Structure 1
Amino acid sequence: MKILKFGGKSLANKEGLEKVIQIIAQKYFSNEAVVVVVSARSNATNELIDLLDKAQKGVNYNAELEAFKIYQNNGLSNTIFTDEFSQLDKLLEGVSLLGDFSSRIKDQVVAIGELISAKYLSYLLNEKSIKANFVDARNLIKTDNNFGNAQPLDTISKKNVITFFNNQPEGVNIVTGFIASTVNGETTTLGRNGSNYTASLLANYLDAQEFQNYTHVDGIFTANPELVTNARKIEKLSFNEANELANFGANILHAKTIIPLVEKNIPLRILNTFNPDNQGTLITAEQTDEGIKSLSILNNVSLLNLEGRGLLGKTGVDARIFRVMGDNNISVSIISQGSSERGIGIVVETEKATKALIELEKEFENDFYTKDVNRISANDNISVISIIGQDLSTFHKPYTALIKNKIVPILFNNTTTGRNISLVINKTDLKRALNVIHGEIFGVSKKINIAVFGHGLVGGTLINQILNSTSAIEKRKKIELNVFAIANSKKIVFNNNGIGDNWKSEIETNGISYEVQDVIKYAIENNLENLIAIDNTASKDFVENYIALIENGFDLVSSNKVANTLSYDFYKTLRSAIDKNQKNYLYETNVGAGLPLIDTIKLLHLSGENITKIKGVFSGSLSYLFNTFSKEKKDFSSVLKEAVDKGYTEPDPREDLCGNDVARKVLILARELDLQNEFEEIKIDNLIPEHLQTISQNEFFERIDEFNSVYQNIKENQEPNHVLRYIGELSGDLQKEKGVLEVKLVSVSENSALGQLKGSDSLFEIYTESYGERPIVIQGAGAGASVTARGVFGDILRLAEKN
């Protein structure tokens, strides 16, 4: 014999009921011996409780009551629920008159849901020529009189069940779950998820072959799939593991369900009513491999905090707390005590938190007068995440991941086995915290949520690079790059599931005006984890948003040089915010585009290497300009026009020629060496003749030939076999607060490293104390949207692997 149990969602009107009937019919016509246990249909239990509450408050409940009856009757021309509806009417009327109800009355009201469910399913099966019998479990399972959470009396209940089923009529017996009665016949209920408990008891008493629990999901998952989209189904669990899951809030199991099955070694299989071909999750006595099995959650719980100096080292405090809880039938799921806080925290069900608070205040009344206890408070805005199978030796990984995502647990607790850890967190952080922990411990793809600001040449190229590489990176690195926002200076488009290849048209047609605070709000409301903001603008104004982004959980990647070249005070303030919030700010492309220059200098400096000088060609644009002009017999203006046409310079090339861009790059390197230079202190050789510096862009291009005589003269007055290079140089005593920063046009031997540069390559020479006169040389492509975007992409991937 097998025990089949169907939950409320499985028994909902239309598809649910149809699937349940198909499953039972298949087993019936295959001559399988089954007993069916049912919960109340759909949301019936909650609706009945709402009706009770309205009746108690004197609120008119007739419309809700009629809606309940219509749904449960489901179009039957002649109702088969006359007795149940009549009893419900009388009970609600009595509560309305009295303005109150007891636990005894509540059990009588909510029991009607299961009675209707079992009656209706029996009726439908008989209509389909499947012989079915309605069985009221109140006649079989007897309990104590603890209404709302009654405990079965095993001896008498077992005798009743065996006697009934030894003389059972032909057909499928449809048994009410959740409800029972006292020996005096008063209706009781078995507590949360009690229908599972009913089925488990029947399986035990009848020595069933298997207990099949049909739900609306494919089995037990590594986390709630409604909250964690990439949760994986668990194929097998042991009874011990299932019991831990139940104790720590797994909704699919009742904490008491496992014990009757363990006693008789009866397998429990969790199945999906709506996907009956799936094999579900099998739970047996057989031990599975060690390791983390699942994340379960406790909602509807509250944290009670006792705080006071006198609690430190005082004996008997815990005993007093638990005595209060025991005397008032309040279960404590977690207790945590910290000497440094001089406090004790306990987690209880929210519906009992007020009672617990009142009784604790009574118990510790004298301690308030002696100042041993300062306050007792309740926090209802919490949830508990339990990591089943988590070993303390590796707990640092999910914990660190939470901290990086600005989720700070209020407290944590581990079991005596050291194999399960529970975290109390703010309820608003629940979904994000689940996804962060799940991604960290189960090796599934870690989701990195990216907001891109600026989609010009570099930004647009980067977006396309990310979209084109997402699948390969997820397969190779188990990192899912999800671009949830793309913005320009005026409009933004959002999609928490990822923006696709048509992002340009999306911004044009669906883009909305925004402030950066809207991006932060969107990330919070959609519980997005592992956040990265990408700044591909050149905006000084946008840099002002960096600290707000950091404080709200974003790491930063930037090709925008501004933030690192504003005042030294801002530079330090930004670094302080990064350290305080434990975030990262990467900007490798600020100086060398795709070349690993900043990382190299950071590593040398961190290792204690004394860097004595850095010089080189910092601008790919100006590298192309002078490499070409020095070697070819062309006018300076014609080479400059070529550089503009090929996209090597800004649209107005004076932004490159003025030397400010190179100066900013030199300043960035200086600050990486902890130098406190300001931009105004850099000596810059402006390449633009003074009379061309302030005219309009159009007029500048009309008069561009005026460069020719100036630079032809410089070129011709060089020493033989020399070429022109526009370089940045950091020198002086770099162990002091400030160095000497210069940007200048120089003539170098064509046989030197600088002299041999070609095309738009950049070259950097790093002189150190250890290397002496033989510098470390880094050379490569120094310009181009593709190269710069690829450098930004590299920073993103570095952050993704850190998160």
Structure 2
Amino acid sequence: MKVLKFGGTSVGSAQNIKKVIDILQKESLSNPLVCVVSAVGGITDKLLEAGALAKQKDKKYKTVFDKIKTIHYKVIEELTPDSTTIKKEVDTKFEDLEQLLNGIFLINELSPKTSDKLVSFGELLSSFIIAKTMENMGLNTIIKNSQELIVTNSNFTKAEVIYDVTNKNIIDYFNQATQQVTILPGFVSKSHLGEITTLGRGGSDFTAAIIAAALKVEQLEIWTDVSGMYTTNPKLVKQAYPINNLSYQEAMELSHFGAKVLYPPTVQPVLNLAIPIHIKNTLHPEANGTVISNQNNGSDLTVKGISHIDKVALFTLEGSGMVGIPGFSKRLFETLASEKINIIFITQASSEHSICFGIDEGNAETAELAINNTFENEISLHKINPIIVEKGLSIIALIGDNMKSHQGISGKLFSTLGKNNINVRAIAQGASEKNISAVINNNDVSKALNSLHERFFEVNTKQLNVFITGIGNVGEKLIDQIHQQHNFLKKNLKLDVKIVGMANSRKMIFNPKGIDLNNWASQFHHADKSSIEGFYQKVIELNLRNSIFVDVTADKDVAAVYENYLKQSVAVVACNKIACSDKYANYKNLQDLSLKYNASFLYETNVGAGLPIINTLNNLVASGDKVISIQAVLSGSLNFVFNNFSDKKNFHDTVKQAQFEGYTEPDPRIDLSGIDVARKILILARENGIPMEIEDIVNDSFLTKSNLESTSVDNFYDTLIEEEPHFQKLYADAKANNCQLKYVAEYKNGKAKVGLQQIPEGHPFYNLEGKDNIVMFYTQRYPEQPLIVKGAGAGADVTASGLFADIIRIANK
């Protein structure tokens, strides 16, 4: 024999009830069945709503009552062509319900006893409709009222079962029953005095477990609208998947911490009898579902599931007067028990100075008042402090029988939360080590579950959520590269890189599931107006795990918000040099924030575009080498200009070409003035540990006074034409000395300078072509033959690839 229970969603419509009947029909071919059903989906809430309105003398209770009737009539009409007979019998029940509601309205009272009688109509109606429909189909079915079998005490709304009487009733009845399918209403029962009672939240599951245990059936099946118990909440984590096997203890822990599929007390009646519980999906009966038993299924999963409870209030009772004084805990918990408040989380400091516990937020005010009253004397004497209450919290829990035999689970849990800027308010771990719980902010639940699920169940794939501001040449190239390499990264590096936010100077778009990169540009047509603060606020509002902010601008206002991102543990990748070449105090502050909040701050493209110049320098310093001097050509733009400028091509046209091909900033004065190179050598000096300012760098400009004093880009180009003889002389002097013109940056002994130099033949800089950069590091390990990094140092493609490399570096951290 099997016991099957179908929940409210499973019997929530005629279409679903037909599926239930199909399942029962097939299962009954090989086994006698006991079928426990919940009320039609949503009906219990409507019954309570009608009762509350009636109690308040609000005649709208009649409207709710009519809705209840309409819902049931619709189900009946869709289930069977000839519904007249069933409707007549159901009408009798509705008359009783209407009289009860009228009585509540007249006496203006809704006691727990009356409430139990009221809500019992839901299960009584659904079980009757299903049983009669099956009878009309010619199936060997009978309905039996659970109130005639399950006997309880008189603790209304959550009655306690009197098992010896109940088990005898169940055994006696089913020893006589001959029908292949017996339909029972769940949730409902009667007291030993004959009063209608209910079994509390999840009572239909409980009913099924009571029947299963009494009859010692081979299996209890719980049919719901999901395919088993999931690794975590699938509504919040799309990668969640059903767990094939769970122990009873694991199932109870998951259920206690928010897994709605199973109600924890359900497990108790079948636990000692080792009756397996099978969670199945009514809408997809072919799915495997989850089997709960005490069998060792051989699973090597350390963590079986991650669950959570929302709307938790955290209470802290503390004070020096608690230390060494027995009885505080006893008085505290007795106070809560007297108010019928359940504790769902508890931890205590070993110093006995404080006790911290969590309860449902809805009971917070009652608990606070009761506790302060209980300890009124101690509070007045300053032995303890008034109770501290924090709201807006949730509990997340890692659950698994195998956690006790594996080290480092807690470390992985808290490091994952820390990396994603999720603050833990309290921690608890049972002595059994099957549950590690942490209290966090409600707003962080989705990010926490996704991060932890990725850490413990998706170790092969890590999702990065990228936000890009600055969609110019480089930004577009970066987007194209991420799009092009998406499948490769997922397959070979196990990285799922999603761009979830983009902004240019006018518009910004977001999609937490990832922007479609096939047509991202068209989405800007109807996008929101862009702002630096608005973009930042949206990133924080989305609160996604592994978030990376990418700055592809040259905007000082964008650079100014890096610290805000880092403080929220959002990594920053920048090709914008302004932040790292600003005042040293600001540069140092960003480095410190990166360490403090465990948020990467990478800017490889600040020097040499895609070349690993900063990374190479960092590795030298980290390995204990000492940099003696640096010589470099750090401007791809200037190198391109002086490689193409000659006595046959004027300087103005060469600069124009460089700008057209994307080698200079929109304002070429930034490149040609040498300030860009000065910023780069400044950054390298700082990475070498020197607290240098931009003013400390000697800038020997090759531009004329009129060039430097130009009032606009157009005016600058006019001055280049006017000063062409000056530039031709520079070229002629170098040619006469058989030298090449190169704009060189130098650092030595804590000092730095930049300027145009004549480079003789044979020097490593002499044959530097096109837009290439070159850096020579002279160190204690490389005193004579320098360590050289050389390659393309400008251009949208290589700069984008440098940004992309920083993103991947963060992923691999």
TM-score bucket (shorter structure): over 0.9
- 3-state SS of paired residue (1:741): strand
Whether the 8 Å contact between 2:505 and 2:531 is mirrored in structure 1 is no
The alignment status of 1:772 with 2:783, answered yes or no, reads yes
C-alpha deviation, 1:650, in angstroms:
3.4
Q: 1:501 to 1:307 in 2, by over 3 A?
A: same
Match of 1:176 among 172, 181, 185: 185
Equivalent AA in structure 1 for residue 772 of structure 2:
D
C-alpha deviation, 1:754, in angstroms:
1.5
Whether the 8 Å contact between 1:467 and 1:500 is mirrored in structure 2 is no
Query: What residue is the counterpart of 2:22 in the other structure?
Result: 22
Q: 1:769 to 1:707 in 2, by over 3 A?
A: farther
Match of 1:415 among 422, 426, 430: 430
- The normalised TM-score by structure 1 is 0.93
Query: What residue is the counterpart of 1:132 in the other structure?
Result: 141
- 3-state SS of paired residue (2:343): coil
Equivalent pairs counted in the alignment come to 794
C-alpha deviation, 1:425, in angstroms:
1.6
Could you list the per-position Cα deviations for residues 538-595 of structure 1 after superposition, in whole angstroms to 9, with x for gaps in the alignment?
1112222223333334221111111112223433443444444332211110012111
Choose 173-182 or 244-253, whichever is displaced more: 244-253
Choose 428-437 or 19-28, whichever is displaced more: 19-28
Distance 2:702 2:94 in 1: 92
Q: 1:353 to 1:650 in 2, by over 3 A?
A: closer
Q: 1:786 to 1:79 in 2, by over 3 A?
A: farther
The alignment status of 1:547 with 2:563, answered yes or no, reads yes
Whether the 8 Å contact between 2:246 and 2:292 is mirrored in structure 1 is yes
Choose 345-354 or 537-546, whichever is displaced more: 345-354
- 3-state SS of paired residue (2:395): strand
Distance 2:715 2:391 in 1: 68
Distance 2:419 2:53 in 1: 45
Could you list the per-position Cα deviations for residues 14-45 of structure 1 after superposition, in whole angstroms to 9, with x for gaps in the alignment?
432232222223334x3542111111111122
Query: What residue is the counterpart of 1:741 in the other structure?
Result: 752
The alignment status of 1:665 with 2:677, answered yes or no, reads no
Match of 1:298 among 295, 309, 323: 309
Distance 1:393 1:526 in 2: 30
Query: What residue is the counterpart of 2:38 in the other structure?
Result: 39
Choose 266-275 or 324-333, whichever is displaced more: 324-333
Could you list the per-position Cα deviations for residues 176-222 of structure 1 after superposition, in whole angstroms to 9, with x for gaps in the alignment?
11111112221122222121111112112222222111111111111
Query: What residue is the counterpart of 2:621 in the other structure?
Result: 605
Equivalent AA in structure 1 for residue 12 of structure 2:
A
Q: How does 1:764-803 map to 2 (within 5 A)?
A: 764-802=775-813
Distance 1:398 1:467 in 2: 31
Q: How does 1:622-641 map to 2 (within 5 A)?
A: 622-629=638-645, 636=651, 639-641=654-656
Distance 1:717 1:661 in 2: 25
Choose 593-602 or 711-720, whichever is displaced more: 711-720
Choose 408-417 or 277-286, whichever is displaced more: 277-286
Choose 269-278 or 38-47, whichever is displaced more: 38-47
Query: What residue is the counterpart of 2:343 in the other structure?
Result: 332
Choose 246-255 or 702-711, whichever is displaced more: 702-711
Distance 1:520 1:396 in 2: 30
Match of 2:293 among 284, 289, 301: 284
Distance 1:778 1:691 in 2: 36
Query: What residue is the counterpart of 2:282 in the other structure?
Result: 273
Equivalent AA in structure 2 for residue 400 of structure 1:
S
Query: What residue is the counterpart of 2:151 in the other structure?
Result: 142
Whether the 8 Å contact between 1:450 and 1:534 is mirrored in structure 2 is yes
Equivalent AA in structure 2 for residue 622 of structure 1:
L
Whether the 8 Å contact between 1:637 and 1:707 is mirrored in structure 2 is no
Query: What residue is the counterpart of 1:116 in the other structure?
Result: 125
Whether the 8 Å contact between 2:500 and 2:510 is mirrored in structure 1 is yes
Query: What residue is the counterpart of 1:387 in the other structure?
Result: 398
Distance 1:387 1:162 in 2: 39
C-alpha deviation, 1:352, in angstroms:
4.3
Distance 1:788 1:198 in 2: 66
Query: What residue is the counterpart of 2:603 in the other structure?
Result: 587
Runs of 5+ unmatched residues, structure 2? 78-83
The alignment status of 1:675 with 2:690, answered yes or no, reads yes
Q: 1:156 to 1:576 in 2, by over 3 A?
A: same
Choose 781-790 or 362-371, whichever is displaced more: 362-371
Whether the 8 Å contact between 1:535 and 1:560 is mirrored in structure 2 is yes
Whether the 8 Å contact between 1:558 and 1:586 is mirrored in structure 2 is yes
Query: What residue is the counterpart of 2:375 in the other structure?
Result: 364
Distance 2:244 2:307 in 1: 17
C-alpha deviation, 1:699, in angstroms:
5.7
Choose 511-520 or 465-474, whichever is displaced more: 511-520
Distance 2:273 2:261 in 1: 21
The alignment status of 1:489 with 2:490, answered yes or no, reads no
Whether the 8 Å contact between 2:652 and 2:717 is mirrored in structure 1 is no
Runs of 5+ unmatched residues, structure 1? 735-739
C-alpha deviation, 1:67, in angstroms:
1.5
The alignment status of 1:568 with 2:567, answered yes or no, reads no
Q: 1:498 to 1:413 in 2, by over 3 A?
A: same
C-alpha deviation, 1:74, in angstroms:
1.9
C-alpha deviation, 1:491, in angstroms:
0.6
Whether the 8 Å contact between 2:322 and 2:384 is mirrored in structure 1 is yes
Q: How does 1:468-547 map to 2 (within 5 A)?
A: 468-547=484-563
Whether the 8 Å contact between 2:37 and 2:204 is mirrored in structure 1 is yes
Could you list the per-position Cα deviations for residues 603-648 of structure 1 after superposition, in whole angstroms to 9, with x for gaps in the alignment?
3334443322222000112222334458x97555554454344332
Choose 510-519 or 175-184, whichever is displaced more: 510-519
Query: What residue is the counterpart of 2:89 in the other structure?
Result: 80
Whether the 8 Å contact between 1:308 and 1:375 is mirrored in structure 2 is no
The alignment status of 1:58 with 2:75, answered yes or no, reads no
Whether the 8 Å contact between 1:335 and 1:347 is mirrored in structure 2 is yes
Query: What residue is the counterpart of 1:107 in the other structure?
Result: 116
C-alpha deviation, 1:346, in angstroms:
1.5
Equivalent AA in structure 2 for residue 213 of structure 1:
I
- 3-state SS of paired residue (1:256): helix
Equivalent AA in structure 2 for residue 180 of structure 1:
S
C-alpha deviation, 1:427, in angstroms:
2.0
Distance 1:503 1:313 in 2: 68
Query: What residue is the counterpart of 1:737 in the other structure?
Result: none
C-alpha deviation, 1:408, in angstroms:
0.7
Query: What residue is the counterpart of 1:731 in the other structure?
Result: 748
- 3-state SS of paired residue (1:157): helix
Q: 1:12 to 1:517 in 2, by over 3 A?
A: farther
C-alpha deviation, 1:436, in angstroms:
1.6
- The normalised TM-score by structure 2 is 0.92
Distance 1:340 1:689 in 2: 74
Could you list the per-position Cα deviations for residues 298-349 of structure 1 after superposition, in whole angstroms to 9, with x for gaps in the alignment?
2354322213232234333222223334445443222112367932111234
Q: Percent identity?
A: 35
- 3-state SS of paired residue (2:190): strand
Query: What residue is the counterpart of 1:751 in the other structure?
Result: 762
Whether the 8 Å contact between 1:73 and 1:79 is mirrored in structure 2 is no
The alignment status of 1:654 with 2:674, answered yes or no, reads no
- 3-state SS of paired residue (1:470): helix
Distance 1:574 1:53 in 2: 57
Query: What residue is the counterpart of 1:443 in the other structure?
Result: 458
Distance 1:593 1:527 in 2: 30
Distance 1:657 1:13 in 2: 74
- 3-state SS of paired residue (1:562): coil
Equivalent AA in structure 1 for residue 701 of structure 2:
N
